[in-house]
């Protein structure tokens, strides 16, 4: 991070970053944002399959089987149920 154009970068120690990212209650807003982003990507993957003609259960199972998702079918069902309300 730079304070001004051309200025040397500001370097933070791990303790300073941790304190800046966490409130006094111990919340982790960065982790929450990462989790929400993951959930939206999973929801979109299921949604695209459903729009393509798959049934919801089959689409959820297909997404759960995808390499790199790292979330089980039950979690995908919860994500689908929670985010489907917003669409």
Tokens of 51: 């729009």
Task: Measure CA of the first residue to CA of the last residue in the chain; give whole Å.
Answer: 37
57 or 4: whose pLDDT is higher? 57
Domain map of the chain by residue range? 14-22+29-84
Q: pLDDT tier at 68 (50, 70, 90 boundaries)?
A: confident
Identify the pLDDT of residue 19.
67
CA nearest to 61, candidates 85, 81, 77, 79: 77
Please give the model's pTM, rounded to 2 decimal places: 0.68
Identify the pLDDT of residue 10.
72
Does the pLDDT at position 1 exceed 50?
no
The number of residues making up the chain comes to 87
Tokens of 86: 């917003």
Identify the pLDDT of residue 81.
95
Tokens of 68: 């790199």
Q: What is the mean pLDDT of residues 27-54?
A: 87
């Amino acid at each position: 991070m730079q304070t001004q154009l051309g200025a040397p970068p500001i370097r933070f120690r791990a303790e300073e970053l941790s304190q800046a990212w966490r409130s006094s209650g111990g919340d982790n807003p960065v982790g929450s944002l990462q989790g929400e982003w993951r959930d939206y990507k999973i929801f979109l993957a299921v949604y695209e399959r459903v729009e393509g003609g798959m049934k919801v259960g089959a689409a959820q199972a297909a997404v759960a089987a995808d390499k790199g998702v790292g979330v089980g079918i039950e979690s995908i069902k919860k994500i689908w149920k929670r985010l489907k309300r917003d669409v």
